[in-house]
Structures are given as structure tokens and as C-alpha cells.
Structure 1
Amino acid sequence: MLITTAPDGTEVRATDEGRGPVLLILHPGLDDGRSWDKVAAQLTPRHRVVRLHRRQYRQDLPGPATIPQEVEHVVAAAREIGSPILLVGHSSGAVVALESLLAAPGMFTGAVLYEPPVVIGPPLGGPGGEVNVRARQAIAAGRPGRALRIFIRDTVGLPAWMAFLAGVFTALSPRLRPLVPHQIDDNEALDRLGVRLDAYAGVETPVLLLGGDRSPAHLGERLDALARVLPRAERVVLHGQGHSAHAAAPAEVAAVIESFAARTTG
């Protein structure tokens, strides 16, 4: 376990496994890093894998967290590690990774960004944040599964039947159910960040943009927008995979990360 302190005094926590070139993983929403267990198991024989427990999803810290506050935790972890680091971010964690590249460019040798939902036009939460409002109402009514269904259907863009199943599963999971309000906090934090494409044009660090050809189309459009502005970006498409390839095809995801790490961290 890696433990250090952020500038505001909050404790930074991360799972720390393996030896070798360092990979700092920023997990997606509705998670605490454990969804990347299978990928980490593929990587730790040859890498030191540090999985940050993102501040937005910490039950022991006051929230909600802003993206800049999350970045403070990333930078604090990187300083504690003190070695050349490749960032790996998934979904909203990939947006935090992008912002970390801007905040501390010299700390990272590169980044693998798996389908970051960067804002490129209308808010993720819909006009006036109405998706978030409906999700909050469901949470207040004691229906976290319904709140997640709303988010998955209307923000993520998955079919209604998939959103329904995910909502039922989450409502029955003691681990996931308390994370639903944090997922809506996360969505709102991304919308507050707004369109940042002009800022990302200043990222000089090598970036690999990772996506699946079965993911919702808007995620590919966001990757396209990043590919147009990032000076040193490359694209990799995972064929037959969607937004959860880290769970469905961990060996394939790990291979992409290792290949990029070999070229950026030495």
C-alpha cells in the first residue's frame, strides 16, 4: 500500500504491487481500483503497478471532489513514487490523467487514456444537468439502482436493457451501491471542467488513446477530438471490445499498455 499526503492534508491511498517501470492507474467511475485487478495481475510480473483509490470515490473523505482536487492526489502519489511514471486512466479517470499531465508534465513519461469522456460540446449531464438532477432524485428516494440506470442510459449511452441490468446488479451489491452518489458527483465534476480541448493542445507528453469498436459512438467521437489536438497522440482500437475491456479482455489491455510503456519509460 502506498500512503502519502496531499497539499490540503488529505490522505492519498493506492494499492502498490510488483517491481519495475511504474504504471500509475486511475480507475473509472463506480470503482475503487479493484475493477483493474485482472489487468494488474498481467502487468505486475514486469512492472510496479500503483492503483490510486481516486479521491472522488473515497468514502472516508468529504466530498464531492473537484477534478483539481483529484489531480492533487495524483501528483502527490507521483511525488511519493519518485520514478519515471506512465499514467493509465480509464473513463473519468482518464480525464483526471489528462489534467494531471497539464498540472505536472515533467512527472510522467506518457499516458494511456482509455475512452475519456471529455466534454466536447453539450454537458454530459444534459441541458441544465437534467440527467444528474433525475439521478439525484432517485438517490434521494432510496433507489440507487434507478439512479445508475439513468446515468448509464442517458450519459454513457448504453441500451436501456443493459442499463437496467447494471442498475439491478449495483442495487444488490453492498460494495457498489454506496458508490452511486459518487458517480453522479463525478459526472458533475466533468461538466464543471467543461470543454478543455484548447488546453490539451499544450500536452507535449506522448499519449495513447485507447478505445473499443463496440463502445457507444460518442466515446469514439471524444477520442477523435483529442486525437486532433494532442500533439503526440496515437490511437489503438480494441476490436470486439467496449468500455469494459479491462474486465473482458485484461490480457489484451495489458499488452497495449506494456507495448506503450516499453517505448516511453524504457
Structure 2
Amino acid sequence: MEIAVSKDGTRLAYDVVGAGPALVYITGATCFRKFRPILGDVKVFGTKFSVYNYDRRGRGDSGDTAPYAVERELEDIEAIIDAAGGKAHLYGHSSGAVLALEAALRMPDKVDRVVIYDAPYVHDETERRSYRELAEKVAGLLSDEQNGRALKVFLRGIGMPAPFVALLPAFPGWKSMKALAPTLRYDIGLTEEVPPLDRLAKIDVPVCISVGAKNPVGLHHVAEQLAKTIPHSTHRVIDGQDHMVSAKVLLPVLEEHLTAR
């Protein structure tokens, strides 16, 4: 484990796996760097990249400093990029995709190229209302310190298969997942509105916007909007994949986009 220090003094734990161009992996909700699925991804990506796998603030071995703001998470990403030498590629999954886009917008001198997968902004007013209802349920459970229930309600609410959610307590990382449940508030804040297209149109680094073919229509709609809006972007629909994308399937997309010149 290595440590980077963010601008507000928050300590960020990270590991570096593999050899090749620096790739910062920005994970989604309920994930942390030692979570088994994340370790599997990093092992695969590390065959072609130097993967900087970090715990987002409030998760795993990283600290957290109140009050939360998106800007603090972007400063965290900058600290990891600086640890990688001052410039890096970004891969963002789910809510991590939202952070990757914001980082590309705000620090084009430090972000080389970006791949995102399943950016989960709400896609219309109906989804916005239902997502806010879900957010209220989750917030209530977190206030009552029912972290496990909050996690399950959130994951089922965003469409995770019920059998998968039911099995989560058997995962070795379940205890850590429950401990980081309060950070669901951060992820909900990142994704509770439609994409800010006016701002994202100013991104000036190459972005590959990927989405799983088996995902709900809303994720496809968002990906299409982003691809039409962001200038130097490509749009990839990954056959046979849902939100839990296979790292082996995604690796060729990362290679193609991030090593192209």
C-alpha cells in the first residue's frame, strides 16, 4: 500500500499493479481497491498498463474529511495522477465515470485519455423522481445506521440482480462494503441529475464512452447524449455485457483507445 495526500490533507491509499502507461482506475459505488471484483479487473488491466488502484475517500484504507464536495474527489484524482508522474489515463466505471469526465474537463493538462463505462446519470424526469425516492430511502437507513440494508436497497434500486445482491454478505469484502455505505451519499450526489451537457461539451481530451449492450435503455440514452456532445469522443457498445463488465472483454477497448496516437 502506498499513500498520496490530497489538497485538503486527506490520505489516499493506493496500489500500483502492472507495467505500461499509467492508468488511474476510478471505481463506482460500494467498491474499494481490495474488493475481489476490483482486484480481478486490476490484474487483467495490469497486463498492459500500470494501474493506479486507489480507495476513494471514505473507503477502504483512505481517510475522509468533511464537508464532502465533488471538488474534493477531483483533488483526490489529481493527487493520484501526481503520484503517477503528473499525467495519466483514466478509466471510470459507473459513478467513477462521472468523476473521470469531470477530471477530464477540469485538468486537461494532467489527463491524457479517458475511457468510461456506464455513466449512470439519470436520463429523464421520470428517472430523476424515482432516483430521489431511492436516495431518501437510503439516507433514512444510513441515518438509522442500517448500513447493510442501505446497501442492498441501493443496489436493488439501481437494477442489480436480486440474487447477486442477496449473495453479497457471503463476499469476503462485505464487512468493508458496509463500513463504506455512508459514501453512497457521494455517489448519489454525482448521479442524481441529467448529464450537464453544456459543461461536458468543453472537454478537450479524447474520451471513449462505452456501455454494455445488455444494460437498461437509460444508460444507452446517456451514452448517446455524451457521445454527441463531447468533442473528441467515440461511442462503443460492448456486446454481451451488463453493468458488471468483464475486464477481459474491456481490455481491448482500453488498449485501442488509450494507446492510439
Give the TM-score normalised by structure 1.
Answer: 0.85
Deviates more, 1:209-218 or 1:59-68: 59-68
The superposition leaves residues 148-194 of structure 1 with CA deviations (integer Å, 9 ceiling, x where unpaired) of: 3432343x234xxx246515624982222222222233203433x76
- Secondary structure at 1:214's aligned position in 2? coil
- Secondary structure at 2:228's aligned position in 1? helix
Give the drift of 1:254. 1.7
Structure-2 residue corresponding to 1:43? 45
Determine if the alignment matches structure 1 residue 250 to structure 2 residue 240: no
Structure-2 residue corresponding to 1:169? 168
> Gapped runs of 5+ residues in structure 2?
none
Give the drift of 1:141. 4.2
- Secondary structure at 1:16's aligned position in 2? strand
Structure-2 residue corresponding to 1:214? 214
| Residues 165/120 of structure 1: CA separation in 2 closer, same or farther (3 Å cut) | closer
- Secondary structure at 1:211's aligned position in 2? strand
- Contact 1:88 1:97 (8 Å CA) reproduced: yes
Structure-2 residue corresponding to 1:55? 57
Q: Superposition RMSD on alpha carbons, in Å?
A: 2.6
Higher helix share goes to which structure? Answer: 1
Structure-2 residue corresponding to 1:11? 11
- Contact 1:125 1:131 (8 Å CA) reproduced: no
Give the TM-score normalised by structure 2.
Answer: 0.86
Q: How many aligned positions are there?
A: 256
| Residues 253/8 of structure 1: CA separation in 2 closer, same or farther (3 Å cut) | same
| Residues 189/163 of structure 1: CA separation in 2 closer, same or farther (3 Å cut) | same
- The one of 109, 124, 129 aligned to 1:126: 129
Kindly, what percent of the aligned residue pairs are identical?
Answer: 25
| Residues 70/132 of structure 1: CA separation in 2 closer, same or farther (3 Å cut) | same
- Contact 2:105 2:204 (8 Å CA) reproduced: no
- Contact 2:22 2:50 (8 Å CA) reproduced: yes
Structure-2 residue corresponding to 1:32? 32
- Runs of 4+ in structure 1 deviating by more than 6 angstroms, as ranges, are none
- Secondary structure at 1:224's aligned position in 2? helix
- Provide the C-alpha distance between the structure 2 equivalents of 1:178 and 1:125, rounded to a whole number of angstroms: 27
Determine if the alignment matches structure 1 residue 107 to structure 2 residue 110: yes
Give the drift of 1:85. 1.4
| Residues 185/106 of structure 1: CA separation in 2 closer, same or farther (3 Å cut) | closer
Deviates more, 1:80-89 or 1:163-172: 163-172
The superposition leaves residues 12-42 of structure 1 with CA deviations (integer Å, 9 ceiling, x where unpaired) of: 3221122221111101110113332222212
- Which residue identity is paired with 1:259? E
- Contact 1:56 1:64 (8 Å CA) reproduced: no
- Contact 1:87 1:108 (8 Å CA) reproduced: yes
- Provide the C-alpha distance between the structure 2 equivalents of 1:163 and 1:138, rounded to a whole number of angstroms: 19
- Contact 1:2 1:14 (8 Å CA) reproduced: yes
> Gapped runs of 5+ residues in structure 1?
none
